[in-house]
């Protein structure tokens, strides 16, 4: 399911700028990745989405992959450098995700500290996946390749849809 660009724009503009010049943690991105804020919840609020999109576009450039964005300047979440942002997806799902320079252990520790609860993890097909279900429609995910040994991890908020 693709989110209309106007809807994404509205969400991106809603949160407002929180990026510090010295690469302090970006609370805007962190809140989206941990399902604390959600473009999915805001998609019908055009003014809020427009503010979010304007903020996002001022801080990120579309990457060569097309669906991803790269920070224009150093950006961190939970102390980890953000290398890519996928504002409409978490892997193959609909949501909001970040790729951070952190292995599974470090990324998981940061997420669990913010959530105040442990994630449930497993390894399958060479990918370590962790999740914490917040509600029937929101799950915080963490995925790291090489069975959790890769130096980068994807973290984000996944929105489940009824089939």
- How many Cα atoms are found within 13 Å in the side-chain-facing hemisphere of 158? 19
Residues 24-49, mean pLDDT to the nearest whole number: 87
Report pLDDT for 84: 95
Whether the full predicted model's pTM is greater than 0.85, yes or no, is: no
Model confidence at 38, in pLDDT bands (50, 70, 90)?
A: confident
Model confidence at 67, in pLDDT bands (50, 70, 90)?
A: confident
Digit-coded pLDDT (tens) for 4-27: 333 333 333 333 333 333 467 899
Q: Residue 104 pLDDT > 50, yes or no?
A: yes
Q: How far apart are CA 156 and CA 90, in angstroms?
A: 6
Residues in the chain: 163
Q: Which of 37-51, 62-76, 104-118 has the lowest mean pLDDT?
A: 37-51
CB atoms within 10 A of CB 111: 25
CB atoms within 10 A of CB 81: 15
Residue 100: enclosing H or E segment and its boundaries?
strand 93-100
CA distances from 1 to 58, 84, 144 (A): 26, 21, 24
Model confidence at 87, in pLDDT bands (50, 70, 90)?
A: confident
- How many Cα atoms are found within 13 Å in the side-chain-facing hemisphere of 50? 3
Burial class (CB in 10 A: 0-12, 13-18, 19+), 152: middle
Residues 57-72, mean pLDDT to the nearest whole number: 89
Model confidence at 40, in pLDDT bands (50, 70, 90)?
A: confident
**For all residues of the chain together, what is the average pLDDT?**
82
DSSP string, 33-92: HTTSS-HHHHTT-HHHHHHHHHHHHHHEEE-TTSS-EEESS--EETTEEEEEEETTEETT
Residues 113-130, mean pLDDT to the nearest whole number: 95
Model confidence at 90, in pLDDT bands (50, 70, 90)?
A: low
């Amino acid at each position: 399911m693709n989110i209309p660009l106007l809807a994404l724009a509205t969400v991106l503009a809603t949160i407002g700028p929180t990026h510090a010049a010295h690469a302090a943690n970006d609370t805007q991105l962190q809140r989206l990745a941990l399902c604390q804020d959600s473009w999915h919840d805001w998609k019908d609020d055009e003014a809020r989405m427009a503010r979010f999109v304007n903020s996002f576009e001022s801080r990120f450039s579309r990457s060569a992959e097309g669906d991803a964005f790269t920070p224009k300047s150093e950006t961190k979440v939970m102390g980890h450098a953000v290398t890519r942002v996928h504002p409409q997806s978490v892997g193959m799902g609909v949501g909001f995700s970040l790729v951070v320079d952190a292995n599974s252990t470090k990324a998981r520790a940061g997420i669990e500290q913010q959530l105040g609860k442990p994630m449930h993890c497993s390894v399958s097909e060479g990918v370590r996946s962790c999740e914490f279900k917040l509600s029937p429609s929101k799950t915080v995910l963490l995925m790291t390749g090489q069975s959790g040994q890769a130096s980068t991890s994807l973290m984000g908020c996944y929105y489940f849809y009824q089939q």
